[in-house]
């Protein structure tokens, strides 16, 4: 039976395995927790995933948000039983040949991706990647759609439309852009020395366009842009409140990137990182792969809150559980055929 109704909190945590432990059930009931992010270690089969997400949902009312990094290519957390999604770079290559066909494929791919996750109880994926491919970043690489911001904006608009049609929100990342720097923010603190004018002309173009096409959420980069602000974007009120909120007019959710990443260390310990991200304008902070620090973060953020309207907009449309039911739907079959044609053309 679900606990008494309480607002969702501003912290998203992960779990260790394919089932919930008693300790995880307890911490996920903490009033400052608002969501769970799943990884490959949490997946064994579609049926097991359905059971796991149902167990997480049963812990709270309103239910915790359930998310995953499921972009396609090398960042696809669930594979066996799920459709294989190609790297987003393949859509950019197709756009160079036939823009209309590439956008149609993007819509089909997004519909398949979203429908399969929703059918297994996952609310949303942290996708699409809006980083411009400057040929520098190995950690971004073929996760980026294109080197042309116009192509990124058009293809991402098609991706957003496919996600929305299936009933899923979206998260554009990594604001304002991670594609210019070589360092991997998981392992180091990247520094992008470009001027604001250069960043605005390229990296911000997809965000500016997609805010008009229903961009639901944004994840900022653990990157410092010293010509603009001394703080990394995810800890910068200049980037999040002044530029993203006021200048670009964005009113959706802002998720921090993982606070355990090396790129977040500039803000101090885990509590200082969490406070700095929320103070800068993040709505929800993520802490992954650091179970020993989770309780410390929750204790240190006492009194923090989450905009429930923004959180509710991230809730996915509930589908009949299980991929077998989904795969019988005519609309899904059409999208899956479109995905299959696209993948066949890559061979």
pLDDT in tens, 132-148: 999 888 889 999 999 99
pLDDT in tens, 86-98: 999 999 999 999 9
Question: What is the average per-residue pLDDT within 226-247?
Answer: 97
Question: What is the average per-residue pLDDT within 150-175?
Answer: 98
Of 128, 131, 210, which is closest to residue 168 (Cα–Cα)?
128
Distance CA 24, CA 135 (A): 41
DSSP tally for the chain: helices H, then strands E: 13, 10
pLDDT in tens, 267-320: 579 999 999 999 999 999 999 999 999 999 999 999 999 999 999 999 999 888
pLDDT at 4: 58
- Going by their DSSP bridges, the two strands 124-125 and 65-68 should be labelled as parallel
Identify the three-state secondary structure at position 286.
strand
> Counting beta carbons within 10 angstroms of the beta carbon of residue 261, is it exposed (0 to 12), middle (13 to 18) or buried (19 or more)?
buried
pLDDT at 137: 81
Question: Which helix (H) or strand (E) segment is 23 a member of?
Answer: helix 22-28
pLDDT exceeds cutoff 70 at 327: yes
Q: Which of 108, 229, 257, 258 is catalytic?
A: 257
Average model confidence (pLDDT) across the chain: 94
pLDDT at 1: 41
Token representation of residue 196: 């604001």
pLDDT at 2: 44
Whether the Cβ atoms of residue 239 and residue 233 lie closer than 8 Å to each other: yes
Contacts of 342 (CB under 8 A, 6+ apart): 86, 90, 94, 105, 108, 109
pLDDT exceeds cutoff 80 at 265: no
Bin 242: left if φ > 0, else alpha if -120 < ψ < 50, else beta: alpha
pLDDT at 138: 80
Q: Which of 148, 184, 186, 198 is catalytic?
A: 186
Instruction: Reply yes or no on whether 186 is catalytic.
Output: yes
Of 13, 17, 6, 48, which is closest to residue 33 (Cα–Cα)?
13
Instruction: Reply yes or no on whether 257 is catalytic.
Output: yes
pLDDT exceeds cutoff 50 at 15: yes
N-terminal to C-terminal alpha carbon distance within the chain = 50
Q: Is the Cα dihedral 137, 108, 206, 281 positive or negative?
A: negative
Whole-model pTM over 0.85: yes
pLDDT at 264: 62
pLDDT exceeds cutoff 80 at 41: yes
Phi, psi of 90 (to 5 degrees): -65, -35
- Angle, helices 89-97 vs 149-166, to 10°: value is 110
Contacts of 258 (CB under 8 A, 6+ apart): 186, 264, 286, 287, 288, 289
CA atoms within 13 A on the CB side of 161: 15
Percentage of residues of the chain with pLDDT beyond 70: 95
User: For the range 292-298, what are the long-range contacts, defined as Cβ-Cβ under 8 Å and sequence gap of 24 or more?
Assistant: 293/260, 294/13, 294/27, 295/27, 296/270, 296/271, 297/11, 297/259, 297/270, 297/271, 298/11, 298/27, 298/30, 298/32, 298/33
Distance CA 168, CA 123 (A): 7
Of 9, 61, 66, which is closest to residue 43 (Cα–Cα)?
66
Task: Tell me yes or no: is domain 11-83+113-149+167-321 CATH 3.20.20.300.
Answer: yes
Of 120, 113, 117, which is closest to residue 49 (Cα–Cα)?
120
Contacts of 79 (CB under 8 A, 6+ apart): 40
């Amino acid at each position: 039976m679900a606990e008494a109704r309480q607002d969702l909190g501003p912290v998203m945590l992960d779990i260790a395995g394919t089932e919930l432990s008693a300790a995880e059930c307890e911490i996920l009931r903490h009033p400052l927790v608002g969501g769970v992010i799943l990884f490959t270690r949490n997946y064994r089969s579609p049926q097991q995933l359905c059971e796991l997400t149902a167990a997480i949902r049963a812990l709270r009312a309103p239910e915790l948000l359930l998310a995953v990094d499921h972009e396609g290519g090398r960042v696809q957390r669930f594979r066996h039983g799920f459709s294989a999604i190609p790297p987003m770079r393949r859509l950019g290559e197709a756009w160079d040949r036939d823009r209309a066909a590439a956008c149609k494929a993007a819509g089909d791919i997004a519909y398949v991706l979203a429908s399969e996750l929703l059918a297994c109880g996952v609310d949303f994926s942290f996708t699409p990647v809006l980083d411009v491919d400057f040929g520098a970043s190995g950690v971004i690489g073929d996760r980026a759609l294109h080197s042309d911001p116009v192509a990124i904006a058009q293809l991402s608009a098609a991706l957003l439309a496919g996600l929305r049609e299936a009933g899923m929100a979206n998260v554009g990342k990594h604001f304002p852009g991670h594609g210019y720097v070589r360092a991997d923010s998981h392992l180091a603190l990247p520094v992008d020395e470009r001027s604001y004018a250069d960043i605005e002309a390229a990296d911000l173009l997809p965000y500016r366009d997609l805010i008009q096409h229903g961009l639901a959420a944004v994840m900022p980069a653990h990157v410092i842009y010293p010509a603009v602000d001394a703080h990394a974007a995810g800890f910068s009120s200049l980037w999040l409140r002044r530029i993203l909120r006021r200048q670009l007019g964005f009113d959706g959710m802002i998720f921090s990137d993982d606070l355990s990443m090396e790129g977040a260390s500039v803000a101090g310990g885990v509590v200082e990182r969490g406070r700095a991200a929320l103070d800068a304008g993040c709505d929800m902070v993520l802490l992954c792969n650091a179970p020993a620090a989770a309780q410390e973060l929750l204790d240190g953020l006492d009194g923090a809150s989450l905009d429930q309207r923004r959180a509710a907009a991230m809730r996915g449309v509930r589908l009949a559980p299980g991929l077998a039911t989904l795969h019988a739907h005519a609309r899904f079959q059409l999208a899956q055929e479109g995905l299959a044609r696209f993948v066949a053309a890559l061979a």
